[in-house]
Amino acid sequence: MKAVDYFYFVRDIPYKIPTSLKEADHCCSGKHEILFNLLKSSGLEVRYRVCVFLWSSFKLPSILEKISYEKDSTHTYLEVKIKDKWETLDATWDIGLKKVFPINSWGGKSGTRIAVKPVEIFSPAKSTQIVKNQTKRVIEKDLKLNGKFYKAFNKWLDIIRKK
């Protein structure tokens, strides 16, 4: 497989935030871990990037907005080196969500847009540190604060895919 094929393979894994430690991670961090490893194995230079975004930057249904959750969140994506320049590569939203989110395409010669509207972008070093520090304790704390919202968000995404 070529790097571009890896991108589309990962992009079209249905996005889903895990709501327990037993579930597969198919949100931005899990999908980009898969893509990171695939691109690395094909010989490309790749690194993690993390930014902060606000959930309010999306047009969420009112039922989601009524659920208690942290208003900001982190988002993981990648940068890949193309012709000695670091380019953004974000495979977050799957093609089934095209009615609600902008879906990235990638031809391998330049970058993509970031799938969220960042309010802060961390340096490559800080981004790697954040990704590496996603411990069980950090995830459990996040699920306590946001788990109900994540479950409802995932359910909403499933409804969108069926329309």
Q: What angle do CA 124, 77, 110 make, to 5 degrees?
A: 90
158 domain-assigned: no
CATH number at residue 105: 3.10.620
Task: Say how many domains are in the chain.
Answer: 1
**Residue 48 domain boundaries:** 3-148
**What is the model's pLDDT at position 13?**
98
42 domain-assigned: yes
97 domain-assigned: yes
Predicted structure pTM score: 0.95
Averages of pLDDT over runs of 10 residues in the chain (163 residues) are: 95 97 95 98 97 95 93 97 97 97 96 98 97 89 95 97 92
63 domain-assigned: yes
**What is the model's pLDDT at position 161?**
96
Distance between CA atoms of 36 and 62, rounded to whole angstroms?
Answer: 35
16 domain-assigned: yes
